[in-house]
Amino acid sequence: MIRSADIREWRNHDVVDPKGRKIGMLEAVYVDTATDQPAMATVRTGLPTRQRLAFVPLDEAVLGPDYVRVSHPKTAVRKAPSIGTDDVLPAEREESIFRHYGMAYQPGVNGERRLARR
């Protein structure tokens, strides 16, 4: 399991898919608010003048010397829900991220957010 303190050190490192294809650069880590464990990352993708932050799960992520390898293909990450580089993830969009990757989504008991940026 990846610890929160470890993954923050990988900011601005390459994010690659299972085949080693570069997806983009790791921008931020989001933890699951129920467990406080890393759950998602945002990856800076797109052309320099039109960049966005795409979400990708960190399940089965592997850390290398200068990369983070995620378990989802580049095409899936590029099509994932995203936010602008200066935007904040709205709570009502969390479910669409989980749904995109076929993951179950359940907000907190009192409707709390599932993801928190660290």
Q: 34-84, pLDDT tens digit by residue?
A: 888 889 999 999 887 889 999 999 989 988 888 999 999 999 999 999 999
Short-list 82, 54, 56, 55, CA closest to 71: 56
Tokens of 43: 């990856």
State the residue for tokens 């907000």. Answer: 107
- The mean pLDDT value for 84-99 works out to 92
Which of 7-11, 33-37, 50-54, 104-108 is least confident?
7-11
Mean pLDDT of the chain: 88
What tokens appear for 103 in the block? 């993951």
DSSP 111: S
